[in-house]
Amino acid sequence: MMCMHCLKVQPVGPTCSTPSCAGFSMAKNVYHCPLGNLCCVGKGLGIDFFHCMTCNCCLGMKLKEHKCREKGLETNCPICCDFLFTSSAAVRALRCGHFMHSACFQAYTCSHYTCPICSKSLGDMAVYFGMIDALLAAEELPEEYRDRCQDILCNDCGKKGTYRFHWLYHKCGFCGSYNTRVIKTDTTSCFT
CATH of 67-123 given 3.30.450.20, 3.40.50.920, 3.60.60.10, 3.30.40.10: 3.30.40.10
The pLDDT of residue 60 is: 79
Question: In this predicted model, which residue has the larger pLDDT, 120 or 186?
Answer: 120
Of 58, 39, 41, 42, the closest CA to residue 50 belongs to: 58
> 118 exposed, middle or buried (CB, 10 Å; 0-12, 13-18, 19+)?
middle
Flag whether pLDDT at 160 surpasses 90: yes
pTM for the predicted model, two decimal places: 0.69
Is residue 27 over pLDDT 80? no
**Ranges of CATH 2.20.28.10 domains, the chain:** 126-186
Where does the chain hold its CATH 3.30.40.10 domain(s)?
Answer: 67-123
Topology of domain 126-186, CATH:
Rubrerythrin, domain 2 (2.20.28)
Among 79, 58, 71, CA closest to 97 = 71
Average pLDDT over residues 133-153: 90
User: What 3-state class would DSSP assign to 134?
Assistant: helix
Q: What would the mean pLDDT of 135-156 be, rounded to a whole number?
A: 90
Handedness of CA 61, 67, 72, 75 (dihedral sign): negative
Distances (CA, A) of 149 to 95, 138, 146: 31, 19, 8
Q: How far apart are CA 82 and CA 184, in angstroms?
A: 37
